[in-house]
């Protein structure tokens, strides 16, 4: 939980990892180090909504916990998974309402294996409604954890959406969305060296809105930053300079 690197830098590095590292397995492993958390888990499934149907899971959990998880069929018990695939909003694991003795036993078992007790899960989706879940966990002091969560939630939401997008494109063949006229305009002005504030003046819209368009364009093009989005857009013939 290194406080030394600014959050923006971590997010940009994380995007780079998600974009360039060869396998999603290595992505989660690199993210764990980069984010300074105990564990990183990404869940998705072939069904698009039920995480237990043709599950796609990448995680940094120790192998003895993974074996135990499979052996005990915890995928059908895990309250984090259940809540994650029936939520739109992110949630802290402390918000989980334990509803059965089975769930209680599973959570106790998890803590016994060094998982949690603190965690944050971020549900993600796609234009086609294909759902996923990105979670990070931490075992330290609760105040440290709360601070970490508050400082990093925005970045983690972005990272969660990025990794989901990569998996959907790589494993499930989802394609990129098209750029709109406004997004292309904002990228074109960026290509000419204009900052968001300049573009806001030129297009007569707010700076916040310019950032939204650039962010959306970056997301659609899977780019780490605006500079990369500009060069990708040029390479694809989406903008000309």
Partner 1 sequence: MIHVVQEWNAHDNRDLLDQMFRMRARVFGTRLQWDVACRDGSERDDLDGASPAYLISADRDRHVNGCCRLLPTSGPTLLATCFADTLPDASQLSDGSIWECTRFCVDDGSCAPAVGGIGPITAALVRSAIGLARANGIDTILANVNAATVRMCRRAGYRIDILGVTHRFSPSVYLAAFPVAACGAVLDRGVVPLAEAAPPPGRFPDLRGANDLRGANDLRGANEQPFSPWKKVS
Window of 1-9, 18-26, 40-48, 197-205 that interacts with partner 1 by CB under 8 A: 197-205
Binding of partner 1 by 206 (CB under 8 A): yes
Of 28, 34, 156, 239, which one interacts with partner 1 (CB under 8 A)? 156
Binding of partner 1 by 204 (CB under 8 A): yes
Contact 51, 45 (CB under 8 A): yes
CA distance 210 to 233: 17
Of 29, 125, 169, 225, which one interacts with partner 1 (CB under 8 A)? 125
Per DSSP, the three-state class of 89 is: coil
Binding of partner 1 by 6 (CB under 8 A): no
How many other C-beta atoms are found inside a 10 Å radius of the C-beta of residue 177? 14
Of 21, 66, 153, 234, which one interacts with partner 1 (CB under 8 A)? 153
Per DSSP, the three-state class of 218 is: helix
Site track 38-67 with partner 1 (rule: CB under 8 A), x = hit = ------------------------------
Task: Name the minimum Å distance from CB 64 to partner 1.
Answer: 29
Binding of partner 1 by 177 (CB under 8 A): yes
CA end-to-end distance (rounded Å), the chain: 42
Please give the size of the binding site for partner 1, defined by CB under 8 A: 42
Binding of partner 1 by 182 (CB under 8 A): yes
Please name the residue that has the structure tokens 């989005």: 229
CA distance 61 to 42: 11
CA distance 215 to 113: 39
C-beta closer to partner 1: residue 67 or 176: 176
CA distance 36 to 44: 23
Tell me the two tokens of residue 36: 């300074």
Of 29, 102, 139, 209, which one interacts with partner 1 (CB under 8 A)? 209
Which residues, 70 to 99, sit near partner 1 by CB under 8 A?
A: 82-83, 86-90
At residue 102, φ and ψ (nearest 5 deg) are -60, -45
Contact 31, 17 (CB under 8 A): yes
Of 63, 178, 235, 237, which one interacts with partner 1 (CB under 8 A)? 178
CA distance 86 to 50: 9
Binding of partner 1 by 103 (CB under 8 A): no
Binding of partner 1 by 143 (CB under 8 A): no
* Closest to 18 (Cα-Cα) out of 112, 151, 124: 124
Q: Note the residues at the interface with partner 1 (CB under 8 A).
A: 82-83, 86-90, 122-129, 131, 153-158, 160-161, 177-178, 180-183, 200, 204-206, 208-209, 212-213, 215-216, 219-220
């Amino acid at each position: 939980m290194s406080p030394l690197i600014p959050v923006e830098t971590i997010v940009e590095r994380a995007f780079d990892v998600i974009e360039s590292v060869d396998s999603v397995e290595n992505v989660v492993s690199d993210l764990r180090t980069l984010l300074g958390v105990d564990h990183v888990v990404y869940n998705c499934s072939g069904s698009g909504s039920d995480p237990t149907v043709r599950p796609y899971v990448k995680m940094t959990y120790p192998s003895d916990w993974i074996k135990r998880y499979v052996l005990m069929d915890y995928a059908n018990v895990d309250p984090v998974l259940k809540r994650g695939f029936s939520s739109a909003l992110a949630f802290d694991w402390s918000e989980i309402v334990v509803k059965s003795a089975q769930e209680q036993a599973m959570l106790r078992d998890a803590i016994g294996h060094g998982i949690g007790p603190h965690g944050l899960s971020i549900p993600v989706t796609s234009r086609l409604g294909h759902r996923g879940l990105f979670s990070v966990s931490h075992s330290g002091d609760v105040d440290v954890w709360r601070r970490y969560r508050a400082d990093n939630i925005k970045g983690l939401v972005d990272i969660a959406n990025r990794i989901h997008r990569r998996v959907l494109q790589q494993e499930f063949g989802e394609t990129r969305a098209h750029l709109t006229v406004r997004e292309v305009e904002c990228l074109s002005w960026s290509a000419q060296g204009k900052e968001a504030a300049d573009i806001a003046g030129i297009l007569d819209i707010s700076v916040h809105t310019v950032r939204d368009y650039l962010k959306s364009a970056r997301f659609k093009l899977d780019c780490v930053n605006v500079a990369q989005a500009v060069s990708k857009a040029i390479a694809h013939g989406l903008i000309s300079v």
